Structure 1
Amino acid sequence: MSTLHVLSHSPFGDSRLSSCLRLLGDTDALLLSGDAVYALRPGTAPYAALQAQGELSLYALAEDAEARALAIPAWATAIDYAAFVELSLRHPKVNSWL
């Protein structure tokens, strides 16, 4: 059963991103929203950790990345809120990392 993991906190304040990455299954997806999109800043440890995941289904809310002047890399998918809802419906489980 696939899970959509939703992160919204900065990857620089705690270990939620690394904990999440350890638990990701082959069919799981990860959505970065809010300050979690800072993980997409090139040259940082969170960016490298995401790249090291290989075949990760990675999504980022475009509005949140734009608000923080971050480009979404080609290996991630930019989505809007409607696509977020659709993504949530595609996965039987949704885990928000609060």
Structure 2
Amino acid sequence: MATLHILSHSPFADSRLGSCLRLLGPNDGLLLCGDATYALQPGSIARQALELMSDAVALYALSEDLDARALTDLPQRAKPLDYPAFVELCCHYDKVNSWL
């Protein structure tokens, strides 16, 4: 059963990103929003971890949050989404898990 995992907390504040990455399965998706988008900063350990994810896991980020943090140098696999696309994405997966 494919799950969309939603992270909103900074990857530098706690271990949620690492815990989430360990639980990702084939055909799962990971959506970064809020301060979690800082994981996409070039050269960061968090970005390196994201780049090591299986190609079977989709990576998404909310465009509004990327813009607010001036994050423009994204990995090729990261798909920016607006809010309507985010809602559609939630309907695409069997389960949605928000890492509060």
What's the TM-score bracket when you normalise by the shorter of the two chains?
A: over 0.9
Which residue in the other structure is 2:65 paired with? 64
RMSD: 0.7
Which residue in the other structure is 2:75 paired with? 73
How far off its partner does 1:39 sit?
A: 0.2
SS in 2 for 1:89: helix
Taking the aligned partners of 2:78 and 2:54, their CA distance within structure 1 comes to 11
How far off its partner does 1:54 sit?
A: 3.4
Which residue in the other structure is 2:85 paired with? 83
Which residue in the other structure is 2:97 paired with? 95
Which residue in the other structure is 1:50 paired with? 50
**Percent sequence identity over matched residues?**
61
- TM-score between the two structures when normalised by the length of structure 2: 0.95
Q: 4+ runs of 1 displaced by more than 4 Å?
A: none
Taking the aligned partners of 2:16 and 2:80, their CA distance within structure 1 comes to 21
How far off its partner does 1:27 sit?
A: 1.1
1:3-14 alignment, distance < 5 Å: 3-14=3-14
Gaps in structure 2 of 5+ consecutive residues? none
- TM-score between the two structures when normalised by the length of structure 1: 0.97
